[in-house]
Amino acid sequence: MDQAAPAVQTIETSDSVISYRDLGEGPVMLLLHGGGPGATGWGNFSANAADLASRFRVIVPDQPGFGASRLVKDSGATYHTLSAQTMAEFLSILGISRAHVVGNSMGGGVALRMAMQRPELVDKLVLMGPWIPGFGIPLLAPLPIPLLQEYYPDPTPEKMRLLIKSMVYAPTFENFDELVASRYAASIDPDIASGYARMGTGTDPDPDPRPMWDQVAAIPHETLLLWGRDDRHCSLDDAFQYLAAMRNSQLMIFRQTGHWVQVEQRQAFARHVTAFLAD
């Protein structure tokens, strides 16, 4: 049985009010959620946090504009850059000088940005279907899924149900209906809807002139790539491109698994992540 959820806490950074949960003891692990409508840190990672807290101090924030976290001063940077800067400041305020960073989808892209911008702060990376603009060439990508693009401006429970079904190989996990309901309820909050829209705006004030492939290839950190063979959002060809670019990486592929490896392969996820980070 999963332990009770720890209390929600808040920290004010220079640009955001960040809501987070903090549990366990040991090496610090920062879990960064994906960017779908209604996404939250605890919604993405509550079960995983409970599994990992016996070996690690697990910190699960809502990124700016998601869940209960609010962006109060917008720098105008791209969302990945903005959130990476905020998460680095967030860790600094907590007195954490180094952390393992685990990210799914958009959260994986933010983790990559943290490794690029604050390499001294990041220990090891664990990435599940990471997405960062400008990386990769879709060679074998599945047909585009319009569910994300068409969710707003008229969200409905059925749209949310279809979206979450697209994230997994099969919607057979225990709390599927509860997740649909909670994500839909969050997604219709005007602040969360505007936070989601913010992901597609902004420009880097001082962009790195190198192509994104070269920026990713320059990341020296040990990296574990976890990928669903049936990921409909970040297809398997992306996995091999990250493996080719990141010379200090290893890749594990899970059959009959979609975009949410941590949900569909919960026990294996905890086992492999623990072994990789403890090595």
Which member of 33, 80, 259, 272 is catalytic?
259
**H/E stretch holding 104:** strand 99-104
> Is 259 marked active-site?
yes
From the list 88, 112, 99, 84, the residue with the least C-alpha distance to 234 is 112
Residue 29 CB burial class (10 angstroms; 0-12, 13-18, ≥19): buried
As a whole number of angstroms, the distance between CA 201 and CA 272 comes to 35
Contact 47, 173 (CB under 8 A): no
As a whole number of angstroms, the distance between CA 90 and CA 122 comes to 13
H-assigned helices in 75-211: 79-93, 106-117, 157-167, 176-187, 190-198
Q: What does R_g of the chain's alpha carbons equal in angstroms? A: 17
Helices 41-52 and 176-187 meet at what angle, rounded to 10? 140
Count of CA atoms in the C-beta half-sphere (13 A) of 214:
4
As a whole number of angstroms, the distance between CA 158 and CA 169 comes to 18
Q: Which residues are catalytic?
A: 259
